[in-house]
Amino acid sequence: MQVGIVDYGGGNLRSLRRAVESLGHEVQLVASAADLAGVTHLLYPGQGAYGDCLRKLEERGLKEGILDWIAADRPFFGICVGYQLLFSGSEEAPGQSGFEVIDGQIIKFQSDTLKIPHMGWNALKLSDRSHAVWEGLPEDPYFYFVHSYYSVEVDPSVVAGVCEYGEPFTACVIKGNLLATQFHPEKSQDNGLKLIENFLKF
């Protein structure tokens, strides 16, 4: 197994790398499409603005490489902005198209009573508790969130987990060997490490 983490010049590389290494796996930083050679599992770290991430991926030739990877149904784990990029587009970057791998849009929280960004621990209501990715995790596991934007109009067939913040919103999708979460598993202590470990069995 060779675990790759996308390095697009941003994102929370250090925490995610440390989490993967704590599970006993070596990490290959993927800064170009050529770096995908030999990688078996690919993770896209969170942190960063939607439009800026797209620009950096395109500059490095990584966008097409990642799209080819996902199209081949190879194991991919998108985190936070790596989750949001899978959708058609975002209010954060009007006019810019996302990966368009999952039907849906990204919009900003609008509330006079809730704190934005949504930051802290929150429970995830699972759609299919029997899926192997949830093995060893508690019922309604808690994960750590930091985000101001969330997904809407998501294809129901890929919704794997829903969170409540003012209203329910999709916080996890699964499509074949693609797993993506709005929350940060690398910041979610034992639950997050277990989720990453389960993904690495894909």
Segment 102-123, tens digit of pLDDT: 999 999 999 989 999 999 999 9
pTM score, whole prediction: 0.96
Dist CA 197 CA 137 (whole Å)? 11
Q: Which residues are catalytic?
A: 80, 184, 186
Segment (H or E) for 18: helix 13-22
Give the residue-averaged pLDDT of 4-17: 87
Dist CA 88 CA 114 (whole Å)? 26
| Sign of the CA dihedral running 53, 156, 196, 27 | negative
Give the residue-averaged pLDDT of 121-139: 97
Q: Is the pLDDT of residue 11 over 70?
A: no
Ordered structural domains, the chain, with CATH: 3-199 (3.40.50.880)
- What's the confidence (pLDDT) of residue 3? 98
